[in-house]
Structure 1
Amino acid sequence: MKKPSVNAYVALIVVSFFWGTTYLASHIGVEYMHGLLLAGLRQSMAGVLLTGFFFIKGQKIPPRAMLSKLFIIGVIMLCGSNGLMTWAMKYVPSGLGAIIAATVPIWITIFSYFIVSKSKITAQVIIGMLIGFIGVGGIFYDYLVDLMKPEFRFGILLLIMGSMFWAFGSVLTAKWALGINPLYGAGFQMFFSGVVMLIISFCMGETLQWSHLQEPRLVGSILYLIFVGSLLSYSAYIYALNSLPPSQVAIYAYVNPIVAVLLGFIILQEKLNMVVAISCLVTLVGVYLVNNAYKKNKQYGQLAE
Structure 2
Amino acid sequence: MNRSVITADISLLLVAFVWGTTFVLVQNAIAFLEPFSFNGVRFFMAAILLGGWLVINKKEQLKQLDKKLLVSGVIMGLFLFIGYAFQTIGLLYTTSSKAGFITGLSVVLVPVFSFMLLKMKPGFNAIIGVSIATAGLYLLTMTDKVSLNIGDAYVLICAVGFALHIIFTGKYSSKYPALLLTVIQVGTVAFLSVIFAFFTENWQQAFQAEVIFRTNVLTALIVTSLFATALAFFAQTAFQKYTTPTRVALIFAMEPVFAAAAGFMWANESLSFSALTGCLLIFAGMIFSEIPAKKTSFIFKKKAAS
* Shorter-chain TM-score above 0.5: yes
Distance in 1 between residues matched to 2:147 and 2:266, nearest whole Å:
25
Distance 2:53 2:250 in 1: 29
Deviation at 1:277, TM superposition (A): 1.0
**Could you say which residue in structure 1 is the equivalent of 2:107?**
105
The aligned residue for residue 52 of structure 2 is: 52
Query: Which runs of no fewer than 5 residues in structure 1 stay unpaired?
Result: 295-305
Label 1:240 to 1:43 Cα distance change in 2 as closer, same or farther (>3 A). Answer: same
Amino acid at match of 1:54: L
User: Is 1:167 aligned to residue 163 of structure 2?
Assistant: yes
Stretches of structure 2 that go unaligned for 5 or more consecutive residues are 294-306
Q: CA, structure 1 residues 177+10, in 2 after alignment: closer, same or farther (shift >3 Å)? A: closer
* TM-score for both structures, normalised by structure 1: 0.74
Give the superposition deviation at 1:261.
Answer: 0.4
Work out the CA distance in 2 between the residues paired with 1:125 and 1:269. Answer: 35
Query: Rg larger in 1 or in 2?
Result: 2
Q: Could you tell me whether the CA contact under 8 Å between 2:101 and 2:137 is conserved in 1?
A: yes
Deviations 1:61-111 (A, max 9, x none): 61123212211211112x112344466677755x88666655433221011
1:205 deviation in Å?
3.2
Cα distance change on mapping 1:22 and 1:40 into 2, 3 Å: same
TM-score (norm 2): 0.74
Q: Give the structure 2 partner of residue 19 of structure 1.
A: 19
Find the aligned partners of 2:163 and 2:40 in 1 and give their Cα distance.
20
The RMSD of aligned alpha carbons is 3.9
Distance 1:201 1:106 in 2: 31
* Cα distance, 1:255 vs structure 2: 4.6
Equivalent residue runs for 1:256-267 within 5 Å:
256-267=255-266
In proportion to residue count, which structure has more helix? 2
Deviations 1:232-252, CA, capped at 9 Å, x for gaps? 33445556657x877998885
Distance 1:138 1:3, change over 3 A: closer
Q: 1: CA distance between counterparts of 2:287 and 2:104?
A: 10
Provide the residue aligned with 1:66 in structure 2.
69
Aligned to 1:38: 38
Give the corresponding residue for 1:180: 176
Q: CA deviation at 1:222?
A: 1.0
Within-5 A mapping of 1:213-292: 213-237=212-236, 253=252, 255-286=254-285
Return the alpha-carbon distance in structure 1 between the equivalents of residues 217 and 122 of structure 2.
Answer: 44
1:138 alignment partner in structure 2: 139
Percent identity reads 18
Q: Which residue of 1 aligns with 2:118?
A: 116
Report the 3-state secondary structure (helix = DSSP H, G, I; strand = E; otherwise coil) of the residue aligned with 1:32: coil
Sort the Cα spacing of 1:96 and 1:292 in 2 relative to 1 into closer, same or farther, 3 A.
Answer: farther
For the 8 Å contact 1:96–1:261, the answer to whether it is kept is no
Q: Which moved more, 1:39-48 or 1:204-213?
A: 204-213
> Could you tell me whether the CA contact under 8 Å between 2:251 and 2:286 is conserved in 1?
no
Q: 1:252 to 1:98 in 2, by over 3 A?
A: farther
C-alpha separation in 1, matches of 2:281 and 2:140: 10
Per the alignment, do residues 291 and 172 of structure 1 end up closer, same or farther by CA in structure 2, a change over 3 Å counting? farther
CA distance in structure 2 between the aligned counterparts of 1:114 and 1:238, rounded to whole angstroms: 22
1:181-200 mapped onto 2 (5 Å cutoff): 181-200=177-196
Deviates more, 1:280-289 or 1:246-255: 246-255
How many residues align structurally? Answer: 284
Per-residue Cα deviation, 1:142-182 (whole angstroms, up to 9, x for no partner)? 223xx6797xx73x555443332121122223335662211
Separation of aligned partners in 2, 1:99 and 1:134: 10
Moved more, 254-263 or 188-197: 254-263
The answer to whether the aligner puts 1:76 opposite 2:72 as a matched pair is no
Q: Distance in 2 between matches of 1:101 and 1:287?
A: 17
